[in-house]
Amino acid sequence: MSRHILPEDRIHPSIREKVANNHRDIVEEVQAAIAAHDVVIVGMSQNPHPRRARKALKAKGIEFKYLEYGSYLNTWRRRTALKMWTGWPTFPMVFVKGVLIGGADNLEKQLESGELQKQLGSASASK
């Protein structure tokens, strides 16, 4: 399955740079965190689901990096860049070993089944 993304040749040359650089900093910050940490949660304040994801990981003793971008009242344009980059429509965005696994519900399912612990290796599987 491939996502629909507007091909570059369908973007007028005069706006390509603006499209390519739209909130590029936030995407690069998340990419750097994903490269440096096995588990990364991207969330926002006032949203209970990122809290739920963090709590679930803490309960299993699994270390993670948390990045928080604004709240319902601000920073929505920057968060939209992340949604466009990942294709994931909500927060949190949970990455494991560089792979987007979804949100809090998806994380909890993988924790319950032991799949997440297997992805992380034997050290985390025993926690």
Does 98 reside within a domain? yes
**Residues spanned by the domain of 103:** 8-122
How far CA 101 is from CA of 1, 18, 20, 29, 65, in Å, comes to 16, 29, 25, 18, 15
pLDDT averaged over every residue in the chain: 94
DSSP 74-103: B-HHHHHHHHHHH---SS-EEEETTEEEES
39 and 96 Cβ atoms separated by less than 8 Å: yes
Does residue 127 have a pLDDT over 80?
no
Does 2 reside within a domain? no
Domain count, the chain: 1
Q: What's the whole-model pTM score? A: 0.91
CATH number at residue 60: 3.40.30.10
Does residue 124 have a pLDDT over 90?
no
pLDDT digits (tens, 9 = 90+) for 39-63: 999 999 999 999 999 999 999 999 9
Q: How many whole angstroms separate alpha carbon 79 and alpha carbon 123? A: 33
Does 103 reside within a domain? yes
Does 1 reside within a domain? no
pLDDT digits (tens, 9 = 90+) for 64-101: 999 999 999 999 999 999 999 999 999 999 999 999 99
